[in-house]
Amino acid sequence: MKSFDFIILGAGSAGCVLANRISENTNYKVCLVEAGLKDSDPRLHIPVGFAFLGDGKGKYNWGYETEPQKEFEKVAVTEPQREMVDSTGGVHKVDAESFDHRRGYQPRGKTLGGSSSINAMLYVRGHRWDYDHWSELGNNGWSYDEVLPYFLKAEHNEIFNDEFHGQDGPLNVTKIRHENRPTKDFVETGSKIFGYNDDFNGEKQEGIGFYQTTQKDGKRCSAAKAYLVPCLEKENLTVMTETNVSKIIIDNNKAVGVECLNDKGELFSIMANKEVLLSSGAFGSPQILLRSGIGPSEEIIKHDIEHVHELPGVGKNLQDHIDYLSVHRYNSMELIGFSLKSIFYKFPLEILKYIFAKVGMFTSTVAEAGGFIKSNDKLDIPDMQLHFAPAMIIDHGRTSVWGHGLSCHVCLLRPKSRGEVTLNSSDPNDDPKIDPKFLSHPDDMRALVEGYKKMMMILNEEPLSKYTSNHVERPIDLNNDKDIEQAIREEADTVYHPVGTCKMGNDDMSVVDENLKVHGIDGLRVVDASIMPTLIGGNTNAPTIMIGEKASDIILEYWQNS
């Protein structure tokens, strides 16, 4: 049976950082376990390629769905065919249909780099207030001033060289290389109303501007590209792909190893001499803990799993950014889309631009510009984020659209609704049961309605209004809050930032302490976005990489002094 000093479960944004930093000490044998494939597909490296990875579950995407969301509108649900007997005794198969609340979609990366290999590559850290709030909740060492050095350590920024940005880190940050008039018009229009901001990660967050992106030389710079590729040849690092985790092996309240499944479904175990580091994300980490018998007993015993340690917060406190997307059809070749002209004239030119200069449409993050605004002027900090895309996006891009157009997201940054992640079964190949309970707190709907109105102030103002006014796919009466609310219930969903299900803290519902050690279990830490006690005001990839950097220092210092 193989043994390692450290076993890292999940090669996502945090897991890749841990593998790199801990393996720098050549005295430690490190194993990185990833359920997905290697990141060899070109679509994972050509920036716009993530839009062409499929319409749901796929080789590189877990493609989860939530439980029906009670605050979403009901939709028709197709059920398995039923057999009906007619008056003559004949048996007929008929299609069955019922109505249930709409489910949300939860894409998650299933490859080296995790979701950083399939996301929109935006580099956003959140607001200073978010981290100071973590510290105020009792998490010493996690204030903004204390985590900023780890953002700097991770980053190599090609645009800014100041006290807020790093220059020598593995993660390359640069500007988007897709120049187009509609995105510029969005920034010009939005800046007139809410002010211009050239750096959302600088001294202030509020305002409208262009996003920074995790790309290098026109290619995606995922956590795998930044952190894992440079250390793959190390003799003390073993990377296992297509390896699912069944459970963490606990002996006398200490994590001593991991039971895994290979790509043939065969069980095998690997042992940990020092620690197991759980980095499987806001859905995967609580799922593995529960399968390992760690968590609330009522969620474990009902699946015939041996209950090892009572920890009621495992899987609770799920938070995610609820988001509404306004879509507008406009016939312009400057906008990304499919038409005869674009296929026969624009795409061939864009392919050549990308091959020879690494610029143009194929470097697009799709969400190219945006900003941080307040739904209520009395607020101290922004509570809404905008993402502007020079393309029509329907149902997370899972619905193909013919023609050209643009879209703009408005998302609520700090929702009050709280959900949970639990098990559907003890089967490690089964999806988790995800229930964000979107909009369950009434304040979330009220704030999102106001945020939508603020977004439309930009979309209905010149010069942007030429693309948007009278071109909206789902018309809404801006003077009717009930109409706005109805549209939100029909179409709102995640903007892909689930956190909080193994929260850091010292209260009864916390799962890890400020050093990310699981309460009551030795040799086990959780290192990923699930440890966030509250959702940060922005995209979550950069903060998760920061968590990996800080955790690496905590772990290395601990064992150096042990």
pLDDT digits (tens, 9 = 90+) for 124-170: 999 999 999 999 999 999 999 999 999 999 999 999 999 999 999 99
Continuous segment of H or E residues that includes residue 354: helix 347-357
Angle formed at CA 220 by CA 178 and CA 389, multiple of 5 degrees = 40
Judge contact between 545 and 171, C-beta under 8 A: yes
Kindly state whether residues 116 and 256 are assigned to the same domain.
yes
Both 14 and 46 in a single domain? yes
The H or E element containing residue 260 is strand 255-261
Domain span at residue 302 reads 3-58+108-164+221-311+502-560
Same domain, 42 and 9: yes
Angle made by CA atoms 497, 549, 320, in degrees to the nearest 5: 10
Do 145 and 241 lie in one domain? The reply is yes
Domain count, the chain: 3
22 neighbors 555 (Cβ within 8 angstroms): yes
In a domain, 543, yes or no: yes
Question: Is 350 a domain residue?
Answer: no
Q: Are residues 274 and 304 in the same domain?
A: yes
CATH number, position 199: 3.30.410.40
Distance CA 255, CA 247 (A): 10
Sort strands 337-338 and 171-175 into parallel, antiparallel or unpaired. unpaired
- Taking alpha carbons only, the member of 291, 270, 524 closest to residue 428 is 291
- Kindly tell me if the per-residue pLDDT of 78 is higher than 80: no
Kindly state the tokens that stand for 257: 């190893």
Q: Does the active-site annotation cover 497?
A: yes
User: Are residues 524 and 377 both part of a single domain?
Assistant: no
Half-sphere exposure for 145 (CA within 13 Å, toward CB): 1
424-445 average pLDDT score: 97
243 belongs to a structural domain = yes
pLDDT at residue 295 is higher than 90: yes
Asked if residue 403 is part of any domain, the answer here is yes
Q: Residue 81 pLDDT more than 70?
A: no
Helix axis angle, 128-136 to 144-154, nearest 10°: 130
- pLDDT tens digit string along 476-518? 999 999 999 999 999 999 999 999 999 999 999 999 999 999 9
Quick one: which H or E segment has residue 543? helix 541-560
Residue pLDDT, tens place only, 394-404 = 999 998 899 99
390 and 485 fall within a common domain: yes
User: Of 45, 48, 43, which is closest to residue 58 (Cα–Cα)?
Assistant: 43
Model confidence pLDDT, tens digit, residues 507-525: 999 999 999 999 999 999 9
Distance between CA 188 and CA 371 in Å, rounded? Answer: 12
Indicate if the pLDDT at residue 306 is higher than 60. Answer: yes
Instruction: Kindly state whether residue 360 falls inside one of the protein's structural domains.
Output: no
Instruction: Check whether residue 188 and residue 281 sit in a common domain.
Output: no
Question: How confident is the model at residue 470, as a pLDDT?
Answer: 85
Q: Which of the residues 303, 309, 497, 519 is marked catalytic? A: 497
Asked if residue 129 and residue 29 are part of one domain, the reply reads: yes
334 in the same domain as 382: yes
pLDDT greater than 90 at residue 96: no
pLDDT digits (tens, 9 = 90+) for 310-349: 999 999 999 999 999 999 999 999 999 999 999 999 999 9
Residue 431 belongs to some domain of the structure: no
What's the whole-model pTM score? Answer: 0.96
Residue 393 lies in a domain: yes
CATH of the domain at 229: 3.50.50.60
Q: What is the pLDDT of residue 270?
A: 98
Residues 146 and 72 in one domain: no
The three-class DSSP label of residue 362 is: helix
Arithmetic mean of pLDDT, 521-543: 98
Nearest residue to 391 (alpha-carbon basis) of 378, 402, 379, 375:
402
Q: Tens digits of per-residue pLDDT, 232-273? A: 999 999 999 999 999 999 999 999 999 999 999 999 999 999
What is the per-residue pLDDT for 224?
98
Shared domain check, 206 and 284: no
Q: What string of DSSP letters covers 61-108?
A: B--EEEEEPTTSPEEEEEEEEEEEE-TTS-EEEEEEEEEEEPEEEE--
